[in-house]
Homo-oligomer: A and B are copies of this chain.
């Protein structure tokens, strides 16, 4: 086997997904492979891509993207910094593997299940949101790569299938998919990073929200914007920031689904 470093190098070559899959069963790196704790098995076997990816995800979940480094990863794997480079050409390639790995958490509808497309769409959107909020570092990576790994491809296939079931004309599907899933990405990014900022300030999200509002109020207290956003705040309902996010998310999906229905989807059978 040729070292990973020799595979992906020049511009014009740009994907980790070019070479054949390792351990075709796909097992070793599976969900929860390196489990609850952070220290890996003391009697650990040799390295492989799956184990490296699993430990990478664990570190990213624990400490975030900024604190992740190849050297910390190597320490965690009880190996020198450079060993990892046998399996992976660059840090970016590794992050791409980690991102697609967690994308496997998205729950896809059974293709033979003929539940109403509105319900399937909501479930898919909610599951994607949960993935991103559950792994805040992922929101910072989704934009950076092409996302053509196996799990993202499966997700993409599932969205196509749901859109197909709306009955809307095919030339609208691109816009519909963009409207829904780019929204979910944007929304979840905002939600996840808000949580991260709060955590970094060592506050609950509700406390952090109060403080942010105070900051803004200082700037714009006398402007109409202040009155308007206060009114919106109240009208929006929900006692906590989490409830507010949930409500906005549901309402936005209502808007999107209503818009898709107007775009030529079959009407609800009632």
A143 on the interface (CB 8 Å rule)? yes
Q: Which residues of B contact A12 (CB under 8 A)?
A: 201-203
Number of interface residues of A (CB under 8 A): 81
Task: From the candidates B185, B249, B254, name the one contacting A186 in the complex (CB within 8 A).
Answer: B185
CB distance from A231 to the nearest CB of B (A): 7
Q: Let me know if B174 and A225 touch, CB within 8 A.
A: no
**Complex interface: chain B residues within 8 A of A212 (CB):** 146, 148
**Chain A contact residues, majority secondary structure:** helix
Give Cα A224–Cα B220 distance, bound, in whole angstroms.
Answer: 54
Which of A37-45, A52-60, A101-109, A232-240 lies on the face that meets chain B?
A232-240
* Contact A235–B146 (Cβ < 8 Å): no
Copies in the complex: 2
Asked if A90 is at the interface (CB within 8 A of a chain B CB), the reply is: no
> In the complex, are the beta carbons of A258 and B252 less than 8 A apart?
no
Chain A 128-158 interface residues, beta-carbon cutoff 8 Å to B:
139-140, 142-146, 148, 150, 153, 156-157
Tell me if A263 counts as interface (CB < 8 A to partner B). Answer: yes
A97 on the B face (CB < 8 A): no
Tell yes or no: A78 within 8 A of B by CB: no
The smallest beta-carbon distance between A205 and chain B, in angstroms, is 13
Determine whether A248 belongs to the interface, using a CB cutoff of 8 Å to chain B: yes
Q: Is the CB of B254 within 8 A of A178?
A: no
B252/A176 in contact, CB under 8 A: yes
A18 near B: Cβ within 8 Å?
Answer: yes
User: With an 8 A cutoff between CB atoms, is A228 at the interface?
Assistant: yes
Q: Does A36 contact B (CB under 8 A)?
A: no
Q: Are B153 and A252 in contact, CB atoms less than 8 angstroms apart?
A: no
> Does A236 contact B143, Cβ atoms closer than 8 Å?
no
Contact between chains at A160 and B232 (CB < 8 Å):
yes
Segment from A22-30, A80-88, A114-122, A189-197 that makes contact with B: A189-197
Cβ contact within 8 Å between A176 and B255? yes
**Which residues of A are at the interface with B, using a C-beta cutoff of 8 A?**
11-15, 17-18, 139-140, 142-146, 148, 150, 153, 156-157, 160-161, 164, 169-176, 178-179, 181-187, 189-190, 192-194, 197, 200-203, 212, 215-216, 219-220, 223-225, 228-229, 231-232, 235-237, 244, 247-252, 254-263
A–B pairs, 6, beta carbons within 8 Å: A146-B212, A170-B231, A175-B247, A178-B251, A255-B260, A258-B259
